[in-house]
Each structure stands twice: as structure tokens, then as C-alpha cells.
Structure 1
Amino acid sequence: MNFTANPLEREMKRRPRPQAPRPDKPPEGSRCCGCPYWRGIPCGSCFQSLLGRPGGR
């Protein structure tokens, strides 16, 4: 039973689905160690080096 005509009301009634577990941390000593953008594989360009420089360049 819906109380309003809002199409999102059905979504609000659903039970939340469990989130996928976060990937493991990068290996110690690798260049990706401590990177906030680690997603299980090394990225093409190092975001850590871009974050460390003023202006991002």
C-alpha cells in the first residue's frame, strides 16, 4: 500500500542490500601503498603523484 503518488516510495520500502566488500590493501612496499584510489589493481597513472603536486600538475 502506497501513501503517496511518489514513484520512489517503493524504493524506500525495500530492504537494503549488503555492499560488496572493499578490496584488500595494496602490498606493502609497492608504489600503490597508501593510495586512496586503490581498487584492487594498479592504475595507469599514479594519482598519488598528482595529489602531491600543487595545482595537480
Structure 2
Amino acid sequence: MNFTSNPLEREMKRRPRPRAPRPEKPREGSRCCGCPYWRGIPCGSCFQSLLKKPGGR
């Protein structure tokens, strides 16, 4: 039941849905900056160095 003719009244009655927090980005200049595997903490071994091709090509 609506008490007014305001179209936003229906929105105000809805329960808020929880959203997952976004992971923070690593600091600029750190070795994890730009890593596609960043999940909020540094990993044990650097995946960026493992993804590089052997021989420096």
C-alpha cells in the first residue's frame, strides 16, 4: 500500500541487497601493481615472473 503518489516510495520500501566489496588496488610502484591475479594480498610467488617467456623474448 502506498501512502503517496511519489514513484520513489516503492524504491524506499525495498530491502537493500548486500554488495561484495571491491578489492583494493595495490600501491603504485609495488611489484604487485598491474598484476592480473591481485586479490587484496601479495601472493607467495610472483605470477608475473612465471608468465614471462623464457629467454627474455
Q: Does TM-score exceed 0.5, indicating one fold?
A: yes
Instruction: Give TM-score scaled by structure 2 length.
Output: 0.56
Pick the structure with more helix per residue.
1
Question: What is the number of equivalent residue pairs in this alignment?
Answer: 38
Match in the other structure for 2:28: 28
Mapped to 2, the partners of 1:20 and 1:50 lie a distance apart of 30
| Structure 2 stretches lacking a partner, 5+ long | 1-16
Coordinate RMSD, CA, aligned: 1.7
Equivalent in the alignment of 1:53: 53
Percent sequence identity over aligned pairs: 87
4+ runs of 1 displaced by more than 2 Å?
none
Unaligned 5+ runs, structure 1: 1-16
Return the TM-score normalized by structure 1. 0.56
